[in-house]
Chains A and B, each alone.
Chain A
Amino acid sequence: MLQSRPRRQENGGGLMSDVTLTIDGQPVTVAKGTLIVEAARKLGIEIPVYCYHPKLAPVGACRVCVVDVENQRRPIMPACATEVMEGMVVHTRNAAATRAREGVIELLLINHPLDCPVCDRAGECDLQDFTLRYGHGQSRFTETKRHFEKSKQIGKEVILDRERCIMCMRCVRFCDEVAMEEGLTIIERGTKSEIGPFPGRSFDSQFSGNTVEICPVGALTSRSYRFKSRPWELQNYASVCNGCATGCNLTVDVRYYEVARFRSRCNDAIDDGWLCDRGRYGYKFISSPERLKKPLVRKDGQLVEATWAEALEVAAAGLKKFPADKVGAVAGPRLSNEGGWLLTRLMRGLLGSPNLDHRRGLAFREGEPLKLTAKIEGLDTATAIVVVGCDPTRTNPGIDLRIKKGLRRQAELICIGENGLSGYADYRVGSLAELSEAYANLPEEEKKGLNYPRPRPWEAGGSTSTDLEKAAKVLKKSNRVVFVFSEDHPVEGLEALAEQIGVEAPHGLLMLVAGANSVGLREMGVLPVFAPGWQKLAEAKEAYSTAWGAFASGEGADYAAMTGSSNPLQAMVLVAEDKLEKKPEFLVVLDLFSSAIAKQADVVLPASSFVEQVMTMTNLDGTVQLCRQALPPLGESLPDWQILYRLAEKLGQKWDTDTAAKIFAQIGSLNPLYPAASYNDFQTEAAVHWSYPQQGKIGTPRADLSGIPVHRPDAAPWMGAPDTGSKVERVSRLLAGDQPPAVPGQLDPRQMATRLSLVLPVVQDPPPVPGSRITASAGPQAPGPSPANRYHAIGGGARELPLPAVQIKQTEAEQPVQEVTEA
């Protein structure tokens, strides 16, 4: 543990009162405990920072944020570590502050190599940007710089350049405070200080990529992105990770129709600004040569390439051949809400078959869904977190970090069974039954425990108590208890215990599901015993019959039956599912890759990945989130919903939901869990929260958006300006000389970074991708970012480039399905 405790209370602690102060002559009122740098940001005044990071405790080490505060013994104060006081008068731009800041930047640069031309970070480097904005014009340092081995691989994905390091310690603090692991540390002291893994160890963390992202300079770079791109060549799209059901928000950075990297796109309610390495580096499959690019049809026992029309024809004919109750569908959790909705419609509405399911665990038992009241955010405010027989560190790393955040605040951790968090547990309990019993046996009035910071297990060497009574008392502290459990493990008695404690949203049961959109698919009705939105089949029949023409309201075969060895079905549609023990007579597979199952199929239809389409997913706490399209579909692949739409067409029904947006609108109108909202509601809110109902009764509408905090992490709208047509501005082509520079004449110093691009070779535009609906041409320029958002809330100070923002006109959501042009 590097940082000194106590840490600043992340949410204040007691009563919050307001403080009014003056910064650069402008009055501002902020909550007590706010730091000067945060108050200044509220006014749109930029104060440069390196060591400061909003998700880490203030450390005040780099001193670049120095400001001049009147009436202080030491007037030059670090804005990132000084809390505001009533009547404080702060100057960020006066002579003293400017001179102090210049001095600090000059000192920071004395040992920093001038290797910007070969540094990955150049163009999005805080040191570069702030030096241009606030530094001396030139260095007076003529002595010898400190030298280290230039690049050193310290982990699977992380490469360290110690010469570039400015010792802001963000990475060390991330490992220490957020991941709570012994990841990186500081070795030696003074100018000899260097960052590194603990001697004799490597940086093996499943969160290592976050250190690369928050590094304000090019000291930490990732192997996957290193030397691959320049930041100003990238187009950024808001998306959502589909690695697991946590639903961490990410930005897809695309360079020439290829994903260059994923970055975190902070959503306080979901991911808190972090990504796990599995999600962050899990993009390589998108451009894999193994991807299916053309439909395949079995001819003479062999799967051969076919046209879409041909393949769909064969698929439709095959499905029509069998009676409805012998036809079924299984969907894997990669499928979007839109795809799931059309799959339900295809099966229940068109084919009249109730046989549809997706991989499921214990979301409902005895015909009733569980009361899942917990939100991920609830872990922050919980007084007790009980991990019941599951391992979030393995299945849902984002939840792992969130549990640790809860622990750092006030929660006590009870682990039932061994898991990756056991070392952090205050209490380890053998079974839930034991704990419930101990809880039931507690006397009515139980005194509250002392609340002062006590040595926690991870600080005191890992000693944990198995004292059941003490563990049960922890549950008595308040009703802010979160039970984290997995859909794959029995949870007998969990609901009863939660009820006894009287949990309320956002606390209660938090179910970890493995698949990215498992929750969404369940709510889309991809279930044999429920209609969409957990409605009773009989009750829903009327509404869906009206909307869809017909609705098979019987109960069908479930996942186990359909994928098991005694599969009763004769024809099946498999979407992104890789388990099937007995192949039916006719099998249609929609997938990205030619899996073992696909190799047995009669028709294989190539599907697009989540970055190649506009779609929504619902994460494990019920938050519906939108993925923007970042790439054209690979080859001839199509989004799953389009494939299903076309299949319905071949089966003789022309549906009115011929765009993703229309499907989403229909979901809103029919599914009681989803509000009558459109994609445009995501336009300003990158993630819209439709929380589970406050009372924990699943089944009531959760359409009320008022009063639910909405997070707006991304300043850029998800769609371009409304009337610019489908245009993409390629920044690097402009700079490479195809056209005159956007701003002729002398470059503003702030645009200096762009000069670096002039040394790049002339880059030809890539050839048009077949089927692409994005065309490249010079488009209108958006104004540069305002000082307030110049540095992103998360992920490294001056992240936004001082370049015109790249605007993408997204057409996928609005454009109806077109006839497929045969290649």
Chain B
Amino acid sequence: MPHPQEKRILFGWRDIKDIGSLKVYREKGGYDAWLKLLKEKQPAEVIELTKASGLRGRGGAGFPTGMKWSFVPNNLGKPKYLCVNCDESEPGTCKDREIVEHIPHQLLEGIGIACYAVGIQKAFIYIRGEMYEGYLSLKKAIEEAYAAGLFGKKIGGSDFECDIVLHRGAGAYICGEESALLSSLEGERGFPRLKPPFPAVSGLYACPTVINNVETLATLPPIFRMGVEEYAKLGTDKSKGTRMVSLSGHVNNPSNFEIELGKVNFKQLIEDFGGGMRHGKKCKAIIPGGASAPWLTMEQHGEVTLDFEAIAAARSMAGSGAIVVMDEDTCAVGAALNLVEFFHEESCGKCSPCREGTQWLTQILHRIEHGQGKMEDLKLLDEICESMLGKTFCPLGDSATVPVSSSMRYFRDEYEHHIKEKCCKVGPGAKKTAGV
């Protein structure tokens, strides 16, 4: 059941029984918004309406969706493609999975709207290989939609035609990066590509390509059902509407929630939505937007509202909306090591700062964590982060420095404790003092 304080737009139909089937989705009025646009609006008008809705990309960067669409040139004489980024692998993020498993038709309708707006006749869904349930549900939905004439040729009696290809990834975090996704989709190694040229001009198979996140596209049908003006009234001035947050970590009720942007702060999120901290502990740190986002602390940032601008002002980023909560017993060094190990494992190896830097960071943190650290290591960590930040090919390398630099920003004392006392400062790893 939805949480009473949620603002459900995207997930409005999430809990309807069998909404994953075309029959129920159609009965509720699904696909009507798209078919209506097909009949009544020109593609350019759809782009303008999307701009007016203020919808911003939900994949992490928060780029205005309508603007992204309008960058696609029409005069190249090439086919255009839509790539749906369903390679959701940012640690802590699980919103797209819920969308494709429960409301696949809503995603397909969103794809239809985007394709119509940009004039695309072929859409590719790149779904993370591990999301097998989601794959099955999407596969079934696509088959149903084709059978009902919603994809293919002459959709809804119009001249518009659109095909959908469902492609499963093979397990690489980097393939969530849009250009690596394109490489992988083309059957090449999942390496990010040089930009420019940007995908909007030369993307998949060197053709103009729009890459949108699942949540972004799945939000489109409800927006057009309720009207763009209504949607634009939600949220803040610059962060309009609602978005999914995936709350996880040391809270009593980890879950996906749809919240109105800018109306909820971290304290409320944890207390009201998350049901408070587990075992009544204190909240120590928050990762506000997936593993790539700099940490925030409850003490300093509890009042920060969940919207793109407020989180950016707090020197972090809203990212993918994955909010990981750490309680007071979490060792900052251990948590940072955990995250850096992830980036080390997932570094694609294309550029040297990321490939070598993640290894070095992991090795040093591992040493500190296991009581072999030196005080000089802290300066070295800072400098390795500096050598990597802004020098890597894609944002993965930047992200890998984030857990180190942000945890050292707020919890440097824990690092020093680890080096001096050869144990954690807090939590079960802390050495028990004599007599206790």
CA distance A104 to B172 in the complex (A): 25
CA distance A64 to B348 in the complex (A): 18
Inter-chain contact B352/A107, CB cutoff 8 Å: yes
**CB proximity of B169 to chain A, nearest CB, Å:** 14
Inter-chain contact B360/A110, CB cutoff 8 Å: yes
Mask, B58-69, CB within 8 Å of A = 1, is 000000000000
The 8 Å CB contact of B349, one of A58, A59, A191, is A191
Interface check A6, CB cutoff 8 A: yes
Mask, A452-489, CB within 8 Å of B = 1, is 11010000000000000000000000000000000000
Inter-chain contact B392/A63, CB cutoff 8 Å: yes
Inter-chain contact B191/A4, CB cutoff 8 Å: yes
Q: Which of A538-591 contact B (CB under 8 A)?
A: none
Inter-chain contact B350/A61, CB cutoff 8 Å: yes
The 8 Å CB contact of B194, one of A59, A103, A104, is A59
Inter-chain contact B344/A103, CB cutoff 8 Å: no
Given A4-B182, A4-B183, A107-B353, does the pair A191, B205 have CB atoms closer than 8 Å? no
Chain A residues with Cβ below 8 Å from B205 are 5, 453, 455
Interface check B179, CB cutoff 8 A: yes
Chain B residues with Cβ below 8 Å from A4 are 179, 182-183, 186, 188, 191, 193-194
**CB proximity of B275 to chain A, nearest CB, Å:** 38
Interface check A144, CB cutoff 8 A: yes
Inter-chain contact B188/A63, CB cutoff 8 Å: no
CA distance A83 to B367 in the complex (A): 42
Interface check B436, CB cutoff 8 A: no
Chain B residues with Cβ below 8 Å from A110 are 356, 359-360
The 8 Å CB contact of A190, one of B77, B186, B194, B355, is B355
CA distance A192 to B344 in the complex (A): 10
Interface check A731, CB cutoff 8 A: no
Given A1-B188, A103-B387, does the pair A190, B364 have CB atoms closer than 8 Å? no
Chain A residues with Cβ below 8 Å from B344 are 190-191
Given A61-B393, A76-B391, A452-B78, does the pair A167, B355 have CB atoms closer than 8 Å? yes
Inter-chain contact B380/A140, CB cutoff 8 Å: yes
Given A4-B179, A63-B391, A111-B359, does the pair A452, B76 have CB atoms closer than 8 Å? yes
Interface check A108, CB cutoff 8 A: yes
Given A4-B191, A6-B202, A452-B77, does the pair A103, B386 have CB atoms closer than 8 Å? yes
Interface check A74, CB cutoff 8 A: yes
Q: Which of A91-113 contact B (CB under 8 A)?
A: 99-100, 103-104, 106-108, 110-111
Inter-chain contact B351/A2, CB cutoff 8 Å: no
Inter-chain contact B206/A107, CB cutoff 8 Å: no
**CB proximity of A92 to chain B, nearest CB, Å:** 15
Output the residue of B345, B351, B358, B386 with the most chain A CB within 10 A: B351
Inter-chain contact A452/B387, CB cutoff 8 Å: no
Interface check A166, CB cutoff 8 A: yes
Inter-chain contact B188/A189, CB cutoff 8 Å: no
CA distance A76 to B397 in the complex (A): 14
The 8 Å CB contact of B197, one of A6, A81, A191, is A6
Chain B residues with Cβ below 8 Å from A66 are 391
Inter-chain contact B356/A107, CB cutoff 8 Å: yes
Given A5-B205, A6-B202, does the pair A61, B353 have CB atoms closer than 8 Å? no
Chain B residues with Cβ below 8 Å from A140 are 380
CA distance A188 to B352 in the complex (A): 15
Output the residue of A6, A169, A188 with the most chain B CB within 10 A: A6
Given A4-B183, A62-B352, A103-B386, does the pair A190, B346 have CB atoms closer than 8 Å? yes
**CB proximity of B197 to chain A, nearest CB, Å:** 7
Interface size class of B (residues with CB under 8 A): 35 or more
Mask, A249-270, CB within 8 Å of B = 1, is 0000000000000000000000
**CB proximity of A571 to chain B, nearest CB, Å:** 65
Inter-chain contact B191/A2, CB cutoff 8 Å: yes
**CB proximity of B268 to chain A, nearest CB, Å:** 33
Chain B residues with Cβ below 8 Å from A453 are 205-206
**CB proximity of A290 to chain B, nearest CB, Å:** 48
| Closest residue of B by beta carbon distance from A185 | B189
Inter-chain contact B355/A193, CB cutoff 8 Å: yes
| Closest residue of B by beta carbon distance from A64 | B352
Interface check B347, CB cutoff 8 A: yes
Chain B residues with Cβ below 8 Å from A191 are 344, 347, 349, 355-356, 358-359
Chain B residues with Cβ below 8 Å from A76 are 390-391
Interface check A450, CB cutoff 8 A: yes
Inter-chain contact B352/A190, CB cutoff 8 Å: no
CA distance A1 to B206 in the complex (A): 14
CA distance A452 to B81 in the complex (A): 14
CA distance A169 to B193 in the complex (A): 14
Interface check A89, CB cutoff 8 A: no
CA distance A588 to B183 in the complex (A): 64
**CB proximity of B329 to chain A, nearest CB, Å:** 29
The 8 Å CB contact of B358, one of A3, A111, A190, is A190
Given A110-B359, A144-B363, A452-B206, does the pair A60, B387 have CB atoms closer than 8 Å? no
CA distance A191 to B346 in the complex (A): 10
Mask, B347-383, CB within 8 Å of A = 1, is 1111111011111100110010000000000001001
**CB proximity of B365 to chain A, nearest CB, Å:** 11
The 8 Å CB contact of A143, one of B77, B352, B364, B392, is B364
Chain A residues with Cβ below 8 Å from B388 are 103, 107
**CB proximity of B190 to chain A, nearest CB, Å:** 8
Chain B residues with Cβ below 8 Å from A655 are none
Interface check B145, CB cutoff 8 A: no
Q: Which of A171-194 contact B (CB under 8 A)?
A: 185-186, 188-193
Interface check A285, CB cutoff 8 A: no
CA distance A76 to B351 in the complex (A): 14
Q: Which of B161-192 contact A (CB under 8 A)?
A: 172, 179, 182-183, 186-189, 191
CA distance A3 to B193 in the complex (A): 8
**CB proximity of A452 to chain B, nearest CB, Å:** 4
CA distance A106 to B386 in the complex (A): 12
Chain B residues with Cβ below 8 Å from A74 are 390
Mask, A220-239, CB within 8 Å of B = 1, is 00000000000000000000
Chain A residues with Cβ below 8 Å from B387 are 100, 103-104, 106-107
Interface check B207, CB cutoff 8 A: yes
Inter-chain contact B349/A189, CB cutoff 8 Å: yes
Chain A residues with Cβ below 8 Å from B383 are 103
Q: Which of A263-310 contact B (CB under 8 A)?
A: none
**CB proximity of B419 to chain A, nearest CB, Å:** 15
Chain A residues with Cβ below 8 Å from B358 are 190-191
CA distance A260 to B364 in the complex (A): 45
Inter-chain contact A2/B202, CB cutoff 8 Å: no
Chain B residues with Cβ below 8 Å from A100 are 387, 391
Interface check A141, CB cutoff 8 A: yes
Mask, A129-165, CB within 8 Å of B = 1, is 0000000000011011010000000000000000000
Given A59-B194, A61-B393, A104-B391, does the pair A143, B363 have CB atoms closer than 8 Å? yes
Chain B residues with Cβ below 8 Å from A104 are 352-353, 387, 391
Mask, A67-78, CB within 8 Å of B = 1, is 000000011100
**CB proximity of B285 to chain A, nearest CB, Å:** 27
Chain A residues with Cβ below 8 Å from B360 are 107, 110, 141, 143
Q: Which of B198-219 contact A (CB under 8 A)?
A: 202, 205-207
CA distance A186 to B359 in the complex (A): 18
CA distance A186 to B351 in the complex (A): 13
Output the residue of B193, B348, B355, B358 with the most chain A CB within 10 A: B355
Could you give 28 example pairs across A and B, Cβ below 8 Å? A2-B188, A4-B186, A4-B188, A59-B350, A60-B393, A61-B351, A61-B352, A63-B351, A74-B390, A75-B390, A76-B390, A83-B196, A103-B383, A104-B391, A107-B353, A107-B357, A107-B387, A110-B356, A141-B360, A143-B360, A143-B363, A186-B189, A189-B172, A190-B359, A191-B347, A192-B349, A452-B76, A452-B77
6 closest A-B pairs by beta carbon, nearest first, are A103-B387, A193-B349, A143-B363, A4-B193, A6-B206, A190-B347
A63-B392, A191-B356 known, 5 other contacts, Cβ within 8 Å: A107-B384, A146-B359, A190-B346, A190-B349, A190-B359
